[in-house]
């Protein structure tokens, strides 16, 4: 594969090229930092204002461009053109899913990052992500010149827009792609507000050879090659933070925290990856047994998120309740290690409320209760964790352990029988707890990634509201759905419910609105209502994501047969969908013919 080869340089001479790092989290990061960088944040909002005024609020998903030629040494350009397109659109203030975001979604479907997808598959993935436009294309080169074609697939209603095409010398790739991105955007909006020259001025100068090393680094199959390519990119473009961030990520994945923090420290406060770099730095302090420094980092992130909108009532409303559960979880672990059990419990409970599907938060609450010698409450938390993630053997083992400690022998025996049926006779891990040991240190679950995508649209809608305080720009179903998500992020479920119903009044077939109402009902414990809304969403559009969610609700209702049927349907639509496979495997019955109740926690 070309991504594994030494770089084939396209830049025969050094000159500035235009580019900008991806900005999937641009608005979120600006809010994190505006207490420190008011001027920069204000500038970003001013740049975004013309796009708001023209109501071009679509979200883009970019796929790799296909190499239509015979030269495999340019295969890296497939992802390179994807990344360049993301850079160009982001610099113009558009909302774009990142390269990594696309990879994560393909992974959920069980597809490799470079899989060639049909337009129907692209459309299905885009629908599940609630994006508005898909960009895809191809390129061909004779070794001297390069021709690139780009197309937009509008998601609703499905519409394939005309081809945008650009040709030029191979070493003019960066300028060529700027022109192509502008033409691509112009094709999606007849009254696109910026000329080509205005669009080009928004791009950051970037050397082509540095970009090539950067892309090859992202595509490299092993860490050593990845580090070598990224270091070369950082050397050629020392003021470009993107290679620095990914170098930090590679070292962080190795748990070489000292090296990772060195690279993370190079990310400027104005960069859109800054919040993620700071979060990873906090995780490193936890891993290095430095809870005091971890608490300082996570507290700063949380307060920056809460206070950044203090000068704007709309933004403040959106983010004041918009705690990120990953930050709360890690902050709680730092507090617990410092002896603040009460503060830790408050933060963990908030995280558990914010993310009703994640079992790590009630699991950590259970550990807190065990450490406080309260096995009865611990059992309740571990039971909740087991219900959220039925195929997690550690959750179940600690539930049994806690019930034993609480002298609830009958319940413990029943759970052993149930666990044996689910995991087999020796399927549960042995639990050994030394009374003198710090349970939280060796068993607690640290969140190692900051998933800020949930807040991205809510933050953007808050900024839109600040520019248009009288209400939505247009009375469309999409505008109401975006407003509803903002309200949900702030914890305003009643207001969110009203907005989702307003969206359905305008478009009764909106699967996104039905899914939103199902989420609200599920959070409120109204499982029958959640089922009805998910079924309505499926009537509007078959989706493996919605089917798996419905299956999870059926499991919460103790209806495994119905759950199994939905999972089988999901796998017919997406045969490699990992989450559906895992849940279905869990429902297939005993993992061994020997079902004697002799497994369990020790």
**pLDDT tens profile 360-411:** 999 999 999 999 999 999 999 999 999 888 889 999 999 999 999 999 999 9
The larger pLDDT score, comparing residue 237 to residue 115, is at 237
For 248-283, give the DSSP string: HHHHHHTT-HHHHHHHHTTS-TTSTTHHHHHHHHHH
- Are 100 and 85 in contact by the 8 Å Cβ rule? The answer is no
> What integer pLDDT is reported at residue 341 of this predicted model?
94
> What integer pLDDT is reported at residue 243 of this predicted model?
96
> What integer pLDDT is reported at residue 518 of this predicted model?
93
Is pLDDT of 31 > 50?
no
Total Cβ atoms within 10 A of residue 46: 9
Confidence of residue 94 (pLDDT cuts 50, 70, 90): confident
Distance of alpha carbon 339 from alpha carbon 376, whole angstroms = 21
Is pLDDT of 30 > 50?
no
Confidence of residue 113 (pLDDT cuts 50, 70, 90): confident
User: Exposed e or buried b for every residue in 551-566, given b needs 16+ CB within 10 A?
Assistant: bbbbbbeeeeeebbeb
Total Cβ atoms within 10 A of residue 82: 20
Task: Give me 339's structure tokens.
Answer: 């002896």
What's the Rg (C-alpha) of the chain?
25
Q: What is the dihedral of CA 348, 352, 355, 359, to 10 degrees?
A: 100
Sign for the pseudo-dihedral over CA of 412, 417, 422, 426: positive
The residue behind tokens 């600690």 is 398
Which of 232-236, 289-293, 332-336, 585-589 has the weakest average pLDDT? 585-589
Distance of alpha carbon 136 from alpha carbon 164, whole angstroms = 11
> What integer pLDDT is reported at residue 405 of this predicted model?
94
Can the peptide bond before residue 157 be classed as cis, meaning omega within 30 degrees of 0? Answer: yes
The number of helix segments (H) and strand segments (E) in the chain equals 29, 9
> What integer pLDDT is reported at residue 474 of this predicted model?
53
- Are 84 and 177 in contact by the 8 Å Cβ rule? The answer is yes
For 133-171, give the DSSP string: EEEEEEEEE-SSEEEEEEEEEETTTTEEPPPEEEEEEGG
Measure Cα distances from 135 to 127, 169, 181, 260, 582 in Å: 14, 23, 10, 33, 31
Distance of alpha carbon 197 from alpha carbon 195, whole angstroms = 5
Distance of alpha carbon 377 from alpha carbon 406, whole angstroms = 9
The residue behind tokens 């759950």 is 563
- Are 533 and 519 in contact by the 8 Å Cβ rule? The answer is no
> What integer pLDDT is reported at residue 590 of this predicted model?
52
Distance of alpha carbon 81 from alpha carbon 76, whole angstroms = 9
The overall average pLDDT reported for the chain is: 81
Contacts of 198 (CB under 8 A, 6+ apart): none
Query: Cα 404 to the chain's mean position, in Å?
Result: 38
Confidence of residue 568 (pLDDT cuts 50, 70, 90): very high
> What integer pLDDT is reported at residue 40 of this predicted model?
33
Residues in the chain, overall count: 602
For the chain, list the domains and their CATH numbers.
Answer: 15-205 (3.40.50.10610), 243-443 (1.25.40.10), 457-587 (1.25.40.10)
Is pLDDT of 78 > 90?
yes
Confidence of residue 508 (pLDDT cuts 50, 70, 90): confident
* Average confidence (pLDDT) over 163-172: 94
* Average confidence (pLDDT) over 182-188: 86
Is pLDDT of 107 > 50?
yes
Confidence of residue 64 (pLDDT cuts 50, 70, 90): very high
* Average confidence (pLDDT) over 62-86: 91
What's the whole-model pTM score? 0.73
* Average confidence (pLDDT) over 13-33: 35
Q: What is the dihedral of CA 310, 313, 318, 324, to 10 degrees?
A: 10
140-159 pLDDT, tens digit each: 998 899 999 999 998 878 88
Query: Cα 596 to the chain's mean position, in Å?
Result: 42
Distance of alpha carbon 459 from alpha carbon 565, whole angstroms = 37
The larger pLDDT score, comparing residue 35 to residue 429, is at 429
Is pLDDT of 231 > 80?
yes
Distance of alpha carbon 531 from alpha carbon 458, whole angstroms = 25
> What integer pLDDT is reported at residue 17 of this predicted model?
29
Query: Cα 478 to the chain's mean position, in Å?
Result: 21
Task: Give me 16's structure tokens.
Answer: 């500035």
Please, which residues bridge with residue 301 across strands? none
* Average confidence (pLDDT) over 485-489: 75
* Average confidence (pLDDT) over 117-143: 89
Query: Cα 361 to the chain's mean position, in Å?
Result: 18
> What integer pLDDT is reported at residue 83 of this predicted model?
93
Residue 526 burial (C-beta neighbours within 10 Å; 0-12, 13-18, 19+): middle
530-540 pLDDT, tens digit each: 999 999 989 88
> What integer pLDDT is reported at residue 302 of this predicted model?
83
> What integer pLDDT is reported at residue 51 of this predicted model?
37
Distance of alpha carbon 423 from alpha carbon 430, whole angstroms = 13
The larger pLDDT score, comparing residue 1 to residue 440, is at 440
Strand residues in 194-326 grouped as ranges (E)? 204-205
pLDDT > 90 fraction of the chain, expressed in percent and rounded: 47
Distance of alpha carbon 156 from alpha carbon 541, whole angstroms = 12
Measure Cα distances from 384 to 361, 367, 439, 515 in Å: 10, 13, 19, 23
Output phi, psi for 147, to 5 deg: -120, 130
Q: Reduced to 3 DSSP states, what percent helix, strand and coil does the chain have, rounded to the nearest 5?
A: 60, 5, 30
Confidence of residue 339 (pLDDT cuts 50, 70, 90): very high
Distance of alpha carbon 539 from alpha carbon 504, whole angstroms = 14
Is pLDDT of 24 > 70?
no
Measure Cα distances from 599 to 114, 341, 397, 432, 579 in Å: 43, 32, 9, 15, 26
Total Cβ atoms within 10 A of residue 121: 16
- Are 87 and 20 in contact by the 8 Å Cβ rule? The answer is yes
The larger pLDDT score, comparing residue 67 to residue 489, is at 67
């Amino acid at each position: 594969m070309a991504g594994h080869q030494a770089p084939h340089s396209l830049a025969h001479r050094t000159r500035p090229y235009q580019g900008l790092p991806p900005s999937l989290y641009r608005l979120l990061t600006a809010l994190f930092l505006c207490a420190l960088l008011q001027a920069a944040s204000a500038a970003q909002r001013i740049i975004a204002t013309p796009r708001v005024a023209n109501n071009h609020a679509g979200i883009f998903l970019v796929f790799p461009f296909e190499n239509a030629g015979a030269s495999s040494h340019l295969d890296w350009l497939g992802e390179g053109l994807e990344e360049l397109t993301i850079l160009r659109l982001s610099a113009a203030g558009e909302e774009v899913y990142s390269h990594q975001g696309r990879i994560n979604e393909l992974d959920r479907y069980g597809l490799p990052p470079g899989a060639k997808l049909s337009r129907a598959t692209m459309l299905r993935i885009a629908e599940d992500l609630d994006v508005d436009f898909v960009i895809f294309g191809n390129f061909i080169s004779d070794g001297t010149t390069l021709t690139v074609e780009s197309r937009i697939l509008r998601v609703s209603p499905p519409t394939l827009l005309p081809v945008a095409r650009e040709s030029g010398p191979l070493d003019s790739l960066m300028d060529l792609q700027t022109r192509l991105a502008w033409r691509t955007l112009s094709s999606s909006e007849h009254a696109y507000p910026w000329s080509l020259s205005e669009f080009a001025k928004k791009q950051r100068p970037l050397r082509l050879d540095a970009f090539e090393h950067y892309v090859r680094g992202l595509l490299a199959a092993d860490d050593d090659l990845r580090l070598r390519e990224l270091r070369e990119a950082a050397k050629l473009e020392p003021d470009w933070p993107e290679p620095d961030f990914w170098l930090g990520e590679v070292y962080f994945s190795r748990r070489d925290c000292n090296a990772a923090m060195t690279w993370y420290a190079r990310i400027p406060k104005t960069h859109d990856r800054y919040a993620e770099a700071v979060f990873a730095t906090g995780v490193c302090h936890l891993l290095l047994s430095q809870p005091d420094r971890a608490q300082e980092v996570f507290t700063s992130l949380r307060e920056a998120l809460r206070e950044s909108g203090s000068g704007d009532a709309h933004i403040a409303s959106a983010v004041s309740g918009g705690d990120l559960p990953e930050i709360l979880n890690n902050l709680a672990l730092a507090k617990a290690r410092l002896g603040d059990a009460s503060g830790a419990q408050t933060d963990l409970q908030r995280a558990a409320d914010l993310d009703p599907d994640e079992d790590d938060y009630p699991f950590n609450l259970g550990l807190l209760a065990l450490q406080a010698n309260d096995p009865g409450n611990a059992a309740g938390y571990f039971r909740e964790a087991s219900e959220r993630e039925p195929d997690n053997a550690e959750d179940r083992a600690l539930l049994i352990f806690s019930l034993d400690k609480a002298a609830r022998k009958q319940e413990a025996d029943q759970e052993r029988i149930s666990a044996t049926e689910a995991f087999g006779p020796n399927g549960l891990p042995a639990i050994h707890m030394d009374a003198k040991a710090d349970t939280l240190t060796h068993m607690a679950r640290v969140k190692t990634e900051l998933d800020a995508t949930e807040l991205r649209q809510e933050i953007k809608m808050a900024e839109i509201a600040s520019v248009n305080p009288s209400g939505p720009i247009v009375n469309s179903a999409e505008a109401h759905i975006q407003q509803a998500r903002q309200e949900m992020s702030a914890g305003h479920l009643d207001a969110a419910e009203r907005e989702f119903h307003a969206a359905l009044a305008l478009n009764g077939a909106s699967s996104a609105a039905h899914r939103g109402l199902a989420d609200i009902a599920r959070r409120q414990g109204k499982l029958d209502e959640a089922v009805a809304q998910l079924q309505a969403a499926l009537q509007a559009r078959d989706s493996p994501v919605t089917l798996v969610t419905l299956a999870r609700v059926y499991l919460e209702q103790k209806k495994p047969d119905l759950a199994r049927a939905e999972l089988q349907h999901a796998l017919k639509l997406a045969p490699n969908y990992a989450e559906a496979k895992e849940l279905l495997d869990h429902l297939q019955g005993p993992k061994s013919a020997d079902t004697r109740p002799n497994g369990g926690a020790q």
